[in-house]
Amino acid sequence: MSQQGYVAAPPYSQAQPGMGGYQGGFGGGPAQPLYGHYGGPPQAFAAPPAGMMKSPVSSAAGMPPPPASNQYNPNVQQNGAHPQRYPAPQAASVYGQPLQSPYNSMASMAPPPAQQLTNQMSSMNLGNYAPGPMQSPPPPTSSVQQPFQTSPPQAMGQPQMSPGPQSPHMSPQMSPQQSPMSGPPMGGPPMGGPPMGGPPMGGPPMGGPPMGGPPMGGTPMGGPQMTGPPMAGMGRPFPGPPGPGGFQQPGPGAAGPPGYPQQAGQFGGNMAGHQPGMPGAFPGAPGGMAGPPQKKLDPDSIPSITQVIEDDQVKRGGQVYSTNIRGQIPPLVTTDFTVQDQGNASPRFMRCTTYSLPCTADLAKQCQVPLASIIKPLANLPENETPLYVVNHGETGPIRCNRCKAYMCPYMQFIDGGRRYQCGFCNCVNEVPVFYFQHLDHMGRRVDFYERPELSLGSYEFVATLDYCKNNKPPNPPAYIFMIDVSYNNIKSGLVKLICDELKNLLEHLPSEEGVEASAIKVGFVTYNKVLHFYNVKSALAQPQMMVVSDTAEMFVPLLDGFLVNYQDSRAVISNLLDQIPDMFADTNESETVFVPVIQAGVEAFKAAECSGKLFIFQSSMPTAEAPGKLKNRDDKKLVNTDKEKTLFQPQKGVYEQLSKECVAQGCCVDLFLFPNQYMDIATMADVPSHTGGSVYKYNNFQVETDGEHFLRDLRKDVQKSIGFDAIMRVRTSTGFRATEFFGAIHMNNTTDIEMAAVDCDKALTVEFKHDDTLSEETGAHMQCALLYTTINGQRRLRIHNLSLNCSSQLSELYKSCETDSLINFFSKSACRAILNQPLKTVREILVNQTAHMLACYRKNCASPSAASQLILPDAMKVFPVYINSLMKTAPLVGSTELSTDDRAHQRLLIMGMGVEETQLLLYPRLTPLHNMDVSIKTHPAPVRCSEERLTDSGMFLLENGHSMFLWLGQAIPPDLVQNIFNLPSLAHLQGNMCALPELDNPLSNKVRAIINDLIEKRPNSMKLHIVRQKDKPEMVFRQFLVEDKGLHGGASYMDFLCYVHREIRQLLT
């Protein structure tokens, strides 16, 4: 997909080559020629833009600091030279400054980070600055140019970050830009503005969309705030023509001011103008915009996710959402609503990036908005929603279209008095089978419409006939095999004992289908180190039998009978076994383990038992013992930020690939619980789980005391969650478009069948669609997702989800119907897949470009004309940039040597299987203040924006993103709060490794714990609670989740990114 999604992006295709070159230029020598090239034609402007680009880049990157900043002296020293050389270049400073301010605050807030910063700085210097000097020399054709050029170098330093990517796009479009630039002076300035700090933003508190403009105003603002000189530059660079002159004047603030007043005014005007274009989306905007830019850009003025969530909750929360209308947009994933299935699948099962497809491929191409659907076929439904009906057509099986094989669904049109029906997907006319015949009523609807789920509902299940079973035999109930690494590490850490003790309870609660008392799932046990131990736990045995298989080169299962048993039957023997396992290996000193043979053993066991199932593997180290799939440490931090970085994410050996195929063929899902103390090559080890619908859990430096409960919660959830096995899914669409790309924990043998060894209630896959032909506004677009799977009770079922979308030849319709959460899910997955094959830099560039493009296209086609300086965002996508920015700051995409390769690989794999809720939460964690909530109210307190600015010294905040959870305690937290929560006199008494709150009987403690437990319960993964004190070292970890701030490991702040995107948009538009 990655290629398609990115490379193919039509509008950019041309730009890209340029981009690459451009970047290179920045990076080192080669850039120069390009640079020169650009400079050549549109000399004056061409160059400048470049400069501009860079600076933004820097900001985006989150890289530290523009040279100008004094605070960073140590690092800056080298830079220092630059600033001096280009003292005037406000441009540079402009960008830098905005950055700085946040940065500064960071620094002050958290001293510890200093180290990291310096590191970054130094690296930057080395890598990026070098080129800088080179560039600086460019012959100043015009006075104007110079300033710009100077700015670039500075930016250069920062480019380290993703920003780089953006520049490429820019460059190609530069030329168009020029004209606008020169023409309306205004245009220029606004650009500059955004970077500034965005004081202008302040204007529109709510709307956010109109953002762009204000920045200009900000310029002046910046001046004051910033250290003197650079500030001035702020606004200027963009303003280009007009500004330049001013800027050149070293006079800091002075230069800027002149232009500003005007701009400010203009903005105001623009805003107003825009608004009409944006239907009601930006109510607040006008006012805000109008507001004088003088103050520091108010962060509240830019679109807020928390606000959006809250609004939607207010608007649609608690309501019933009936799926009877084609193309209707569901509430946000964060909103609490009830679904009533009336002919389309619940958004819990299927969610689309847009509910109104463009009619033609050209339109789709033009807007660049990905058309995708995120399908969570087995999603859990809340208790107040009806579970899916099961339709049983007996031996004939489900009724299907003769041509396209689509299943009977509400989109089938019955004609000819009910004797025939026309397929809603391929339009083929089919005979209605005799037994299925029913008369039509006056509306042309079958009389039994409401009696048949497949005619009236969006989602339902069919009982599959033998034709749908492997070898035409009904499947056996699935089996769960627990495979425990009993090497030295796990024994010593007490993990083995923990698992064995827990299993005894856990196995009592194996999942079973609703309405069925006893679970049909069989269980089996394997322990292993260098060799595998299988256990015969047949109920007839007095004691378990252990069978050791040392032949790891060719794995086999040594027993047939008694390996996979019904827990209830063999409870005594299993309990006996679980008691013995920890003791049996108590004095082991075997530290080597195998891995591939363990999975092979599972596959073989399933093969022998002719069933599908799941392996729970508990492994603590990289498999280094001599056996297939033996791994070597190949972690190499030097690869980070190089073109070879992708190799860190690629699995190591062919044997794993083969194994995945075998697993999928047998319906063997692999869940991996890892307990690493060091590098484990998760990219490789998790390859099989990631292709078999499995999950990977990781507990670094596992300790029973602190991580035990966390792990057990995960294990319980994992064992008990509802799941289907041996699944094949296919997405059928009505004519005119079709599914082309699939992302998820899946395996594709051909281009249409999605094979999954298992799919559980939390796994979602993302399907991208492309046009084949023109879509009709009248008929809309239908899609049908059919999942064939084996239930946990061993029944073969077909689950059908149907969804109909609108089609429109108006792009505005499309933008109106966009779903940001789904979009971001798509982008997350496609980016995570793309980094396997492309350099991170490129991937990030593409992300930014596509973001800019989507927004620019909106601006161009849907928004009413307005000043270019205004940032206008479609209402449905107004928070999209935050997510994209956050996405680029996630571990896999950020490209920092600070992060462990395993963590990055792990997160990458996690994202691939995530549903919309999860990506949303991951990319925008919930930061909830707990210190000032009303303990008497039942609901949770409202979250605040994920920014450091929202923290207060005397506060207590809970942050959670579905994978990590932090309780942040301000320095000045009131002692009584501490007393109530921790039963400690003061914060100083707090133990560092605490991972759970003491159970105290006071309202606050009860409430806080209730909130925490509720979250842990609600999320698919259990989370470990980290308690961090302000200014403590662990706070750094916490801070990286404040996604609106500048990234700890790189990445721009929300504000900077927005400004940058704005500039991109402007360039696209000009």
Partner 1 sequence: MASYQEFIQQNEDRDGVRFSWNLWPSSRLEATRLVVPVSCLFTPLKERPDLPPVQYEPVLCSRANCKAVLNPLCQVDFRAKIWACNFCFQRNPFPPSYAGISEVNQPAELMPQFSTIEYIVQRGATAPLIFLYVVDTCLEEEDLQALKESLQMSLSLLPPNALVGLITFGRMVQVHELSCEGIAKSYVFRGTKDLSSKQIQEMLGLTKPAASAQQGRPVAPQDAAASCRFLQPVHRVDMNLTDLLGELQRDPWPVPQGKRPLRSTGVALTVAVGLLEGTFPNTGARVMLFIGGPPTQGPGMVVGDELKTPIRSWHDIQKDNARHLKKATKYYEAMANRSAVNGHCIDIYACALDQTGLLEMKCLSNLTGGHIVMGDSFNTSLFKQTFQRVFSKDLNGDFRMAFGGVLEIKTSREVKVCGSIGPCVSLNSKGSCVSENEMGIGGTSQWKVCGLNPSTTLGIFFEVVNQHNAPVPQGGRGAIQFVTQYQHSNTQRRIRVTTIARNWADAQSQIQHIESSFDQEAAAVLMARLGVFRAESEEGPDVLRWLDRQLIRLCQKFGQFNKDDPTSFKLSESLSLYPQFMFHLRRSPFLQVFNNSPDESSYYRHHFVRQDLTQSLIMIQPILYSYSFHGPPEPVLLDSSSILPDRILLMDTFFQLVIYHGEDTLADTESTIAQWRKNFKQLLLAPLDDAQEILQTRFPMPRYIDTEHGGSQARFLLSKVNPSQTHNNLYAWGQETGAPILTDDVSLQVFMDHLKKLAVSSSA
The site for partner 1 (CB under 8 A) is made up of 531, 533-534, 541-551, 554, 556, 558-562, 576-577, 580, 584, 589
**Smallest distance, Å, CB 542 to partner 1?**
8
**Smallest distance, Å, CB 466 to partner 1?**
21
**Smallest distance, Å, CB 591 to partner 1?**
9
Q: How far apart are CA 45 and CA 146, in angstroms?
A: 10
Q: Which amino acid is at 549?
A: V
Q: Which is nearer to partner 1, 584 or 1036 (CB)?
A: 584
Q: Which amino acid is at 1035?
A: E
The gap from C-alpha 406 to its chain's centroid, in whole angstroms, comes to 32
Q: How far is CA 338 from CA 52, 306, 348, in A?
A: 48, 21, 10
| Residue 231: both structure tokens together | 């500030």
CB 477 within 8 A of CB 520: yes
Q: How far apart are CA 52 and CA 233, in angstroms?
A: 11
Q: Which is nearer to partner 1, 143 or 543 (CB)?
A: 543
Q: Which is nearer to partner 1, 380 or 576 (CB)?
A: 576
Q: Which is nearer to partner 1, 182 or 580 (CB)?
A: 580
Strands annotated E in 489-550: 522-528, 532-536, 545-549
**Sheet holding 413-415: strands in order across?**
413-415, 420-422, 429-431
**Smallest distance, Å, CB 580 to partner 1?**
5
Give the number of other CB atoms < 10 A from CB of residue 133. 14
Q: How far is CA 435 from CA 397, 398, 405, 438, in A?
A: 12, 12, 19, 9
**Smallest distance, Å, CB 526 to partner 1?**
12
371: buried, middle or exposed (CB in 10 Å: 19+, 13-18, 0-12)? buried
DSSP for 156-171 reads: HHGGGTTHHHHHHHHH
Q: Which is nearer to partner 1, 522 or 646 (CB)?
A: 522
**Smallest distance, Å, CB 318 to partner 1?**
57
| Residue 987: both structure tokens together | 């914060």
Q: Which is nearer to partner 1, 514 or 554 (CB)?
A: 554
Q: Which is nearer to partner 1, 490 or 920 (CB)?
A: 490
For 189, the 3-state DSSP assignment is: helix
Q: Which is nearer to partner 1, 589 or 720 (CB)?
A: 589
1066: buried, middle or exposed (CB in 10 Å: 19+, 13-18, 0-12)? buried
Burial code (b: 16+ CB inside 10 Å, e: under 16) for 434-465 equals: eebebebeeeebbeeeeebbbbbbbbbbbbbb
Residue linked to tokens 């009724």: 399
| Non-local CB neighbours of 591 within 8 Å, separated by 6+ positions | 487, 488, 489, 529, 621
Q: Which is nearer to partner 1, 551 or 643 (CB)?
A: 551
Q: How far is CA 291 from CA 203, 211, 257, 258, 1055, in A?
A: 5, 12, 16, 18, 18
**Smallest distance, Å, CB 719 to partner 1?**
24
Q: Which is nearer to partner 1, 606 or 827 (CB)?
A: 606
- Torsion angles phi and psi, residue 447, rounded to 5: -65, -30
Q: Which is nearer to partner 1, 72 or 535 (CB)?
A: 535
**Smallest distance, Å, CB 530 to partner 1?**
9
Q: How far apart are CA 697 and CA 673, in angstroms?
A: 5
| Residue 267: both structure tokens together | 């903005």
**Smallest distance, Å, CB 627 to partner 1?**
12
CB 653 within 8 A of CB 684: yes
Q: Which is nearer to partner 1, 560 or 1037 (CB)?
A: 560
Q: How far is CA 253 from CA 69, 225, 231, in A?
A: 16, 10, 7
**Smallest distance, Å, CB 588 to partner 1?**
11
**Smallest distance, Å, CB 506 to partner 1?**
21
Q: What is the CA radius of gyration of the chain?
A: 30
**Smallest distance, Å, CB 356 to partner 1?**
58
Q: Which is nearer to partner 1, 463 or 531 (CB)?
A: 531
**Smallest distance, Å, CB 515 to partner 1?**
33
